[in-house]
Amino acid sequence: MSDRKITYLTDVEMLTVVVQRDHGEAVLKAARDVGATTGAVGHYAKGIGARERLGLLGLAVEVEKDVISLLVSSEHQDVVLDHIYRESQLGTPGMGYIYSTPLEKVATYIPESLRDQLKKPEASVG
């Protein structure tokens, strides 16, 4: 066991994007475009529900989905969510959706040099 103290991050949101199969790469590219590259995880899922048609538009909907989850700071959540929504064409019927989940605590490895940098008091401007 390590004696190292655990550092918790508290202002973190998890964005989850569910899109048509083979569109996950577009989501990851959109996230990278705005600098959101931390904690990205992708997996496949199978949708349930209206499998044949989507509403009155009569569009065929694929049941296999790409699911991308990524961690972003709470202060950047709106910018990242908006960019992914637009670039992944989530406004198109049947393309998918995105949602945000606030996380109470996240524990992960943070390099000592970065922790020391965060502990330093800000230099006064004057």
- Order of strands, edge to edge, in the sheet holding 96-103? 41-46, 64-73, 12-20, 96-103
CA distances from 60 to 20, 51, 94, 95 (A): 11, 8, 8, 11
- Tens-of-pLDDT digits for all 126 residues of the chain? 566 778 888 899 999 999 998 999 999 999 999 988 777 899 999 876 555 555 556 665 557 899 999 999 999 999 999 999 999 999 998 899 999 999 999 888 777 787 777 676 654 444
Topology given in CATH for the domain delimited by 8-119: Alpha-Beta Plaits (3.30.70)
Structure tokens at 64: 């296999």
pLDDT of 57 reads 60
